[in-house]
Amino acid sequence: MKLLPDILEIRPLTKPPNCTITVPGSKSITNRALILAALSNGKCVLHGALWADDTQVMVDSLQKLGFEVTVEPDPAEECNRTIIVVGRGGQIPAKKAELYVGNAGTAARFLTALVASGHGEYRITGDVRMHERPMQDLFGALRMLGAEVETSNERLPATIRAHGLRKVPISISAVRSSQYASALLLLGMDALLSDKDEPGGYLSMTRKMVRQFRPDWVIEPDLSSGTYFVAAGFLTGGSVEVANWRKDSLQMDGHFPSLLPPPARVSRLTELGDSVLALAICALAGNQPLQIVDAARLRVQETDRIKAMVTELRRVGAKTEEHEEGFTVWPAEPGQLHGADIETYNDHRMAMCFSVLGLKVPGIRIKNPGCVSKTFPNFFDKLEQLRT
């Protein structure tokens, strides 16, 4: 992986791509698997695990909690690793630790629940944006289960004084994030949702992994990451396939190719996950306006993604409209779109979405392209493979 400049110009493709791309392992599956491995009895080997900012903070935190975690290279993919975790049967070896999670929402929520299940005192901190992201519903649930959670504003940083958790059913909201309920499900808790579930979404992924997890586990490729390449093929009139794209994937974004060209309406809650942003880019080359709905959670992720997408789409000349729980994007007329310097808001998905658009529209420059290291450190190397 080469060092990236502060601003990276994306050159349009000179011909439609026709190729197959490999992408690193799924962040969502990797972080769930790391927690399940730590809770298991004995050694677990995770193959094809993503090695990026969000998974590295999880591994670092498990090591600080006293777990034996070994990381080995993966010869098949630069940004994957084979990770070996020695589980302690539900016990947390360290009785005191300070954990830093950066802006990794999955790590923050899963680790908070994990340490609350132990016996000791643990402090969890993150970066500035993570300290703005909601945690109240999870903190409340953990208090009801017996943990002491000390925080000044119901967000991180927080200190958890743990005495073990009561194994009783508990109701928890998934409106702001399904990660709260997933955190409890990973611990074997009976988490009762107090609002609409996500059929086939991230909660379904968690439930399936809890049922199916075994000591030798292969992580699927990250299909959210893969959608950028499928989108690139659609936008440029080519064909890009992602290697090992499983039809029976645990990931909600596995449905992405079936939604091209984009339909009139897509739900962030029931149809697609993070790839709704890539679908919005594809809508610029579609044949009808696309409305993203049920997407309130986009406002409390790495940035307010609804506002950010609308702002940057308008910056390149697109017609778009912001709604309280989503946004609408209209197809672009010939010559309507133009180059611009894209603000990424330190959000990896903003950088990747508009880089894909830059393969079609000249003059698009990505600010802070290095933010892709959160989930896809070699994204721009892979993007260059579309030129071969």
Active-site residues, by number, are 274
The set of residues, in sequence order, having a beta carbon less than 8 Å from that of 355 and lying 6+ positions away, is 8, 10, 228, 364, 366, 369, 379, 380, 383
Closest CA to 228 of 210, 203, 253: 253
- 138 Cα distance to chain centroid: 19
* Rounded Cα distance, 285 and 233, in Å: 11
- DSSP-assigned beta bridge partners for residue 18: 239
* Cα dist from 354 to 117, 207, 274, 280, 306, whole Å: 41, 33, 15, 11, 14
- Rounded to whole angstroms, the Cα distance separating 29 from 231 reads 22
Q: Residue-wise over 253-285: b if at least 16 C-beta within 10 A, else e?
A: bbbbbebbebeeebbbbebbbbbbbbbbbbbbb
**Sequence letter at residue 252:** M
Six-digit token string for 383? 């993007």
Strand order of the β-sheet with 7-9 is 7-9, 364-367, 340-342
